[in-house]
Copies of this chain bind each other. A is one copy, B any other.
Amino acid sequence: MIGIDWGTTSFRAFRVTRDGTIRDRRISQRGIMNVPDARFGDTLREEIGPWLAAGEEHVLLSGMIGSRQGWVEAPYLPCPAGLPDLAAALIDIPFDWAKVKLVPGLSGTDSSSVPEVMRGEETQVLGIPTLMRSGGLACLPGTHSKWVTVQEGRITSFTTHMTGEVFAALRGHTILGRMMRDGPAGGVPFEAGLRRSADRGGLLHHLFGVRSRALTGELSETDSPAYLSGLLIGHEIRSALGQTDGKAVVQVIGDPDLTSLYATAIAACGGYAERHDGQAAAYGLAQIASLAAWD
């Protein structure tokens, strides 16, 4: 089968055997924001045409391609949900060259009944063998980081943290950015930011410390971005781990640069991280496809 994690800014396709082995992959920048005039069918044919010509018939999509801005809007499936629930709720998409189905996103609420939604992360999380076997906690860092709890093979709840987007807004559009120049993402200043996130006073106060430490020369222009990043990621992780009642092993899924930073940060905040890359999406897609009714 062909599994595709089709997000806002990236397109990642995997050609996968029945047992989950990845035979081939294609990564491009043709995320839904980069597809002109909503020509999703044409884009799909251009990307995976050779695999279809080689005899693949089943294509399963996940991610923001199922949003209002995507190809077909798929209603969210409510939590708790596992692989069979997702497989039973696939949406058919008309396409002349293969059978195409879409994995719906999930909806839920946090512990205070505030709504939560995801598209794509559910497929990655359910593709991780450790979580399917024993349950646990996953973190998908990014613009909007997701923290996902799995119990008995189903996603039971999840929360979103706007860490990446808040970093960009603070750096680009507040006084903090005026004293910053590009520097290394990790290292000593990142770890100083992580430690700072454990102090009293709250995030809105800690942010001012980025400026005051720069003003007094404690923090250089090139170290300031990593310090701010550590501060925000530290707040995210401490809040997320504070809700785990001691279950502090975290499966971190994503781009290697980002999972490396988060692994450092989770360790600094008292947790233990195991890292996963895009393969998780391929595994999840293959398993959902194998459970689905294709005719």
Interface residues of A (CB under 8 A from B): 110-112, 114-117, 144-145, 159-163, 165-166, 168-170, 172-175, 196, 199-205, 207-209, 212-213, 215-216, 218, 232, 235-236, 238-240, 242-243
Contacts and interface: CB of A to CB of B under 8 A. Distances in A.
When all copies of this chain in the complex are counted, the total is 2
Given A115-B212, A169-B170, A202-B242, 5 more contacts: A111-B199, A115-B209, A162-B208, A163-B204, A203-B204
Contacts of A116: 208, 212
Contact of A213 (B115, B144, B168): B115
A203 B203 contact: yes
Nearest to A217: B115
Given A201-B243, A205-B159, A196 B112 contact: yes
Contacts of A212: 114-117, 160
Contacts of A114: 196, 199, 209, 212-213
A236 B202 contact: yes
A11 to B, nearest CB: 21
Given A173-B169, A173-B173, A207-B162, A215 B112 contact: no
A257 B107 CA distance: 39
Contacts of A160: 205, 208, 212
The 10 A-B residue pairs with the shortest CB-CB distance, nearest first, are A202-B239, A160-B208, A161-B204, A112-B199, A115-B212, A114-B209, A169-B173, A169-B169, A173-B173, A162-B207
Contacts of A196: 112, 114
A293 to B, nearest CB: 31
A170 to B, nearest CB: 6
27 contacts: A110-B201, A110-B205, A110-B209, A111-B201, A112-B199, A114-B209, A115-B216, A115-B218, A144-B208, A159-B201, A160-B208, A161-B202, A161-B208, A162-B205, A163-B204, A166-B204, A168-B173, A169-B169, A172-B173, A173-B173, A200-B239, A200-B242, A201-B240, A202-B240, A203-B235, A204-B239, A205-B236
